């Protein structure tokens, strides 16, 4: 594990009216991490809300940009430069329409998959940061995308999203260890626990 602090940025839009939007999945996860690991209070910094704490023994800065999604790069870029972080010490948590609802993936680098928040961050710091991608699916083709991501999570979404947020929080120490594969594995085991194998019965000897 690196001794360098980790910046975890959850993306979303500010305001109570957006609190449960699919586009605010990153904010919701950031709040869960804040509560799970007892971070310090949120305070205004880098055109966002910043909280400091530790996860898995590593210093972590949690950031919720308040610039609205399309300008997220202003906030993430300012924090990255201030703390002099390399790209692999920046993790961005966001919704992704190109993943089916309930799917979770990670990657480092690559394109923005039509997410304007990622496009802004890439323009500000380059593409080589780490991403935690929460699938929210999409409906209605291109014309329906905006309404979908700015719509609230449905009751059926809650069946997978709530457990996923809890699992991401529980697995976050693996992110802090820069082990994204172990992180995904732990999330999946938390969501879909494997049944314990029954011990074979001992046969009585004659």
Residue boundaries of the structural domains of the chain: 6-191
Residue among 39, 21, 121, 32 at smallest CA distance from 80: 121
The residues assigned a catalytic role are 23
Task: State residue 145's pLDDT score.
Answer: 59
- Tell whether the model's pLDDT for residue 169 goes beyond 90: yes
- Tell whether the model's pLDDT for residue 143 goes beyond 60: no
Helix (H, G, I), strand (E, B) or coil at 93: strand
**Multiple choice CATH, 6-191, 3.60.15.10, 3.30.2030.30, 3.40.50.1470, 3.90.180.10:** 3.40.50.1470
Return d(Cα 72, Cα 115) in angstroms, integer: 11
CA-CA distances (angstroms) from residue 50 to 30, 44, 78, 129? 10, 6, 12, 19
Return d(Cα 182, Cα 184) in angstroms, integer: 5
In this prediction the pTM is: 0.89
């Amino acid at each position: 594990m690196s001794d360098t602090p980790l910046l975890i940025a959850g993306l979303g839009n500010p305001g109570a009216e957006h609190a449960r939007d699919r586009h605010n999945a990153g904010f919701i996860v950031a709040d869960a991490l804040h509560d799970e690991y007892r971070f310090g209070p949120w305070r205004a910094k880098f055109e966002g809300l910043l909280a400091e704490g530790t996860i898995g023994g590593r210093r972590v800065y949690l950031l919720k940009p308040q610039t609205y999604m399309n300008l997220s790069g202003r906030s993430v870029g300012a924090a990255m430069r201030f703390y002099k972080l390399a790209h692999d010490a920046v993790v961005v948590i966001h919704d992704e329409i190109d993943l089916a609802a309930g799917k979770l993936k990670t990657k480092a680098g690559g394109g923005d998959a039509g997410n304007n928040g990622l496009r802004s961050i890439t323009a500000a710091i380059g593409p080589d940061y780490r991403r935690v991608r929460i699938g929210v699916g999409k409906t209605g083709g291109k014309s329906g995308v905006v309404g979908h991501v700015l719509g609230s999570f449905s009751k059926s979404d809650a069946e997978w999203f709530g457990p996923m947020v809890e699992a991401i929080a529980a697995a976050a120490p693996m992110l802090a260890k820069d082990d994204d594969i172990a992180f995904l594995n732990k999330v999946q085991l938390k969501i879909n626990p494997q049944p314990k194998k029954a011990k074979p019965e001992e046969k009585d000897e004659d």
